[in-house]
Structure 1
Amino acid sequence: MKKKKFYFDKDTGDLIPVKKSKRNTAKLILSVVFLTLFFSAIGTALGYHYLVKPKTYGQAKLANELEKMELQYRLLNKKFEQTQSVLSDLEERDDNIYRSFFELAPVPNEVRKAGFGGTDRYANFSDLTYSDLVTETSKNLDIINKRLVVQSKSLDDVLVAAKDKEEMFKHIPAIQPVSNKQLNRMASGYGMRLHPILKIGKMHWGTDFAAPTGTPIYATGNARVKVAGNMGGYGNVVVLDHGYGYETLYGHMSRIKTRKGQKVQRGDVIGYVGSTGLSSGPHLHYEVHKDGEKIDPISFFYDDVNPDEFKVLFEKSQKMTVSLD
């Protein structure tokens, strides 16, 4: 049996039973509904996902994939920035070191970083959810591709130049034309000298190496024989055309061991020391010509002597005041 509830009436002093009211019941129900909705709203605002269920599984999955894609695009653009920095360093070294060494002009900046032109290449991305990210990534990719193509072409040019340079080094005179390990065969150098026969001061256009008759004479670089025969005061002469503007002359030979048009390599024997022509004794008169100008041969022994030995040869070449031819 349910207990009845009473309240005390202070005016009469009696206990009066409490009667249930439909109106009170309605108020109670409304209060419960209100509190339920209120706490539901609070739960949503605080991010309690279990209170609000996703519309569909597919939509939740798609939202997750989009979030991951955005992160990947941002990471990719960060890597693009790092790659561009490395590429910029390579371009700078290419212009200032590689191309400079091989005497190639730097690649113009407007070529390296030229625009693409034409219509808007990225208009199709404008309707995408992350259009800004997709557009930025595509631009970075296009820029790097363009710069890599230019840099690749530049390195191809450098490679060709390097091969040409290697070939050129083989042709440029670089050794002494006779064996001179003891550095005692330098008889006279380039410059004004007293001619031993004419007894007058005369420009001596080459270097004289004193050696016994029959001493082998070597080609100082790869070349083609331009002259092989007698040339007046030079006696028996060989002139080699090395290409790249270089020629070498070997005079006063006792015997020539080559013929016109023949190809020779550095170190090949092309003749033997003698005293033909205007000569005061057995020796080799050696000249180097560059673009038709006669230049000091002493600068072209770099592949044959070290710096200390070069100093000895230079000092000896300057001490001699009388040439042998």
Structure 2
Amino acid sequence: MNYLGFLTGSICCAIVILVIFGIWFDSPKEAILKKENKELQYHYDLLKGKVDNAVKMLGYLEERDANIYRVIYEAEPIPLEVRQGGVGGSYRYADLLERGLKSESLVLDTYKKVDALRKRLYVQSKSYDEILSLARNKEKLWASLPAIQPLSNKDLKRLASGYGYRIHPIHKIRRLHTGIDFSAPKGTPIYATGAGKVVKTKTDFSGYGKHVVIDHGYGYKTLYAHMQDFAVKRGAKVKRGDLIGYVGNTGSSTAPHCHYEVRKNDRPVNPINYLYQGITPEEYEELLRLASVENQSLS
């Protein structure tokens, strides 16, 4: 009897120990599965980041296509509902739903993002085909458009402040910065960013200081401010890359730099969208990053 009681108690204790062990400790199989899940989650997060970056970059391309290229070539804009149209209902993913995946929402979300990205890429590629056909006889226009940086900027570190709302360096209030600032030592050469005619060389004791305005035609003008000296006179015709002046610290400026503006029909537009010649896609992406930092402008 004592033997049976001892045996029964031992079995009960063993069961309790096994239950507790199962609750607090993973079996080898569970440990492997958890490790695999962590690895899958890590790679999913990496993939999601890459997809999100691709969507962001495509957004920049679509913006330039709609607001620059298609405007230049007088092409009708592509409606937003066409660019971002649907890619089918839930039946499109019925096979995934039938599998009963544990991470169903993550997988579906990624599939939907990739499908939407593919649709937008297809529409954008067709748009570029149309723009290409319109561009064949636009050599004069292309030569006139502001398409390069006004300063030689091999390491991309001179872009100090971008277009948009920034803290004014003197008034210390947040206001629209209508250009981009390229920081550089005094005397650094400044170049015309497109072919055109110099319509202004003016010296102000405040504001833009010594500045040059070039009319490129087709509704485009560029402004180069806070110069130390001019290298051109009013009425001069210039080509893209011609020397027009030197970096200074004149007018309402807190450090030597070139404040550069692009104006379309006398309204300032973001110059970053016009820096498309002489730089690689990676360099352009870095310029976008630098221009998007909300910091204090230099003028």
TM range (shorter): 0.5 to 0.7
Which ranges of 4 or more aligned residues in structure 1 deviate by more than 4 Å? 101-105, 159-162
User: Which residue number corresponds to residue 277 of structure 1?
Assistant: 251
Whole-angstrom distance in 2 between the partners of 1:255 and 1:102: 36
Quote how far apart the aligned CAs of 1:103 are.
4.7
User: Which residue number corresponds to residue 278 of structure 2?
Assistant: 304
Cα-Cα RMSD:
2.2
Whole-angstrom distance in 2 between the partners of 1:229 and 1:308: 37
| Number of aligned residues | 172
Quote how far apart the aligned CAs of 1:318 are.
1.4
Whole-angstrom distance in 2 between the partners of 1:102 and 1:279: 37
Check if 1:251 corresponds to 2:225: yes
User: Which residue number corresponds to residue 172 of structure 1?
Assistant: 145
Whole-angstrom distance in 1 between the partners of 2:73 and 2:244: 31
Aligned partner of 1:221: which letter?
A: G
Whole-angstrom distance in 1 between the partners of 2:75 and 2:209: 42
| C-alpha contact 1:221 1:266 (8 A) present in aligned 2 | yes
* TM-score normalised by structure 1 residue count: 0.50
User: Which residue number corresponds to residue 27 of structure 1?
Assistant: none
| C-alpha contact 1:229 1:256 (8 A) present in aligned 2 | no
SS at match of 2:143: helix
User: Which residue number corresponds to residue 138 of structure 1?
Assistant: none
Deviations 1:161-210 (A, max 9, x none): 844x1100000000000010111101000001111111111110000000
Q: For the structure 1 residues 191 and 161, does the alpha-carbon distance in structure 2 shift closer, same or farther, using more than 3 Å as the test?
A: closer
Which structure's relative contact order is higher, taking Cα pairs within 8 Å and 6+ residues apart?
2
Quote how far apart the aligned CAs of 1:276 are.
0.1
Kindly report which structure 2 residues correspond to 1:76-87, keeping only aligned pairs within 5 A, or say none.
none
Q: For the structure 1 residues 282 and 244, does the alpha-carbon distance in structure 2 shift closer, same or farther, using more than 3 Å as the test?
A: same
Instruction: Identify unmatched segments of 5+ residues in structure 2.
Output: 1-71, 77-132
SS at match of 2:156: coil
Greater C-alpha radius of gyration: 1
* TM-score normalised by structure 2 residue count: 0.55
User: Which residue number corresponds to residue 195 of structure 1?
Assistant: 168
Give 1:186's match in structure 2, choosing from 159, 170, 174. Answer: 159
Instruction: Identify unmatched segments of 5+ residues in structure 1.
Output: 1-100, 106-158
User: Which residue number corresponds to residue 180 of structure 2?
Assistant: 207
Quote how far apart the aligned CAs of 1:244 are.
0.4
User: Which residue number corresponds to residue 227 of structure 1?
Assistant: 200
Aligned partner of 2:148: which letter?
A: I
Percent of matched pairs sharing the same residue: 50
Quote how far apart the aligned CAs of 1:104 are.
8.0
Deviations 1:241-295 (A, max 9, x none): 0000000000000001111111000000000000000000000000000011100
Quote how far apart the aligned CAs of 1:321 are.
1.2
